[in-house]
Amino acid sequence: MGSVAQRIEQVRAEGRAALVGYLPVGYPTVEGSVEAMRAMVAGGVDVVEIGLPYSDPLMDGPVIQRATQQALDNGARSRDAFTAVRAVVGAGAPALVMTYWNLIDRYGIERFAAELAEAGGSGLITPDLLPDDCEDWLTASESHDLDRVFLVAQTTTPERMRMTVEASRGFVYAASLMGVTGVRSVGVEARDLVARTREVATLPVCVGLGVRTAEQAADVAGYADGVIVGTAFVQALESGGPSAVESLARELAEGVRAAERVSA
């Protein structure tokens, strides 16, 4: 069991869901993003997603697109993820890198996996990678004991749901909305998606896309194993710096802890 699954199991034993927070490395600077990630952990985030800036982020909404473009303009590179990973792990939280696959392919799959493991990272979230088209990543992740987090959505067929779950390790990412991040709030369909995923999954199921407030976090935490928040953290960093990120983390963590859990 990878460290992310272990952390989720730990918080489940406390009777709550995990809070997962996303920020892109390099925004506003590499040093500033690392400070903000530490602030998330200090505020109560259980697992940190470190985003790799990419020039064509198809799944990301305008807030994250602006942040990642600024990171690229400021010279952020894929290797900066390892600096962020070390900082997050040092602050006491597991770290996953969230990335579009082209960046890993260009860097070198085996090379990236080895350097991520050496830095203490737990694995990758790959939103645009299909589990039936990633033999090299499956091999590298097994070799370096890394988690593989794949996405399922409302449109995922039962056959592909089963395939995705079988290929995943760490948790399964349930994308609660169709479209890009940060545009709409999480809907009631997310509960059904989690239930469908659990029919074939023994791994934890975490819900992302659309969670912004403590109330929304509490609602999702009532039925999911983890609540993933991205755009709201980027907005907090943009408007108030790391201190605002920590304050938001505390609010969301309180919401998660206040949730009335429904048995899986």
Active site residues: 49, 60
CA distance 177 to 154: 8
Calpha distance 28→37 (Å, rounded): 12
> Under a CB-based contact definition with an 8 Å cutoff, are residues 198 and 205 in contact?
yes
Q: How far apart are CA 247 and CA 152, in angstroms?
A: 30
What is the CA angle 80-86-91, rounded to 5?
130
Distance CA 36, CA 40 (A): 6
Q: Which two tokens stand for residue 120?
A: 């203490």
The residues pairing with 208 across neighbouring beta strands, listed in sequence order, are: 175
Cα end-to-end distance, the chain, whole Å: 20
In 3D space, the residue among 100, 92, 109 whose CA is nearest the CA of residue 128 turns out to be 100
CA distance 87 to 95: 9
